Amino acid sequence: MLISNTTPINYLVLIDHIGVLHQLYTRIVIPQAMFDELQDEGTPPKVKAWVAAHPVWLEVRTVTVFPDPSLALLDAGEREAIRLAQELEADALIIDEPIGREVAKRLQHTTFRAHPDLYRLFLDMYAQRQDGLVASYA
């Protein structure tokens, strides 16, 4: 089972590669706060549409564990992603923010760190796809 916060989901949807998460992990869970963030006013329309009609392999869960004061400096999505990973004993947790990764490491969770160049590559691929230069692999 994989828990993710907002940014990785956002960029994978934008470049039509969100399916890679399901290929790697059959169960992908996101916290309710992250689901809400993915529907915010500033979210790209493509991401909002995907979230509104998300596939069955994506599960949205409400965190039920008590708040952890050591997570107070994180945003709601990261806090809930870490708490949900603890609650569900997730196999992996994807967090892109450095401080969130540090807190997750301290709490003994597996994290995937995406290098900024990877995000730039994803954005370049998205831009090229918009221009019709790259095929989609959803």
Mean pLDDT of 115-129: 67
The answer as to whether 55 is a domain residue is yes
Instruction: Tell me if 59 sits within 8 A of 30, measured CB to CB.
Output: yes
The answer as to whether 31 is a domain residue is yes
The answer as to whether 64 is a domain residue is yes
Number of domains forming the structure of the chain: 1
Instruction: Tell me if 77 sits within 8 A of 37, measured CB to CB.
Output: yes
Query: Considering the entire predicted model, what is its pTM?
Result: 0.70
Q: Quick one: which of 42, 45, 57, 50 has its CA closest to 9?
A: 50
The answer as to whether 94 is a domain residue is yes
Instruction: Supply the CATH number for residue 114's domain.
Output: 3.40.50.1010
pLDDT value of position 133: 60
Residues 6+ apart with CB under 8 A from 4: 21, 28, 30, 34, 81, 93, 94, 95
Counting every residue written for the chain, the total comes to 138
Residues 65-116 have pLDDT tens digits of 767 777 777 878 788 888 888 888 888 888 877 667 676 666 664 444 555 6
Mean pLDDT of 12-16: 91
The pair phi, psi for residue 25, each rounded to 5°, is -135, 125
Determine what percent of the chain is predicted with pLDDT higher than 90.
22
Which of 25-34, 37-46, 66-75 is predicted with the least confidence, judged by mean pLDDT? 66-75
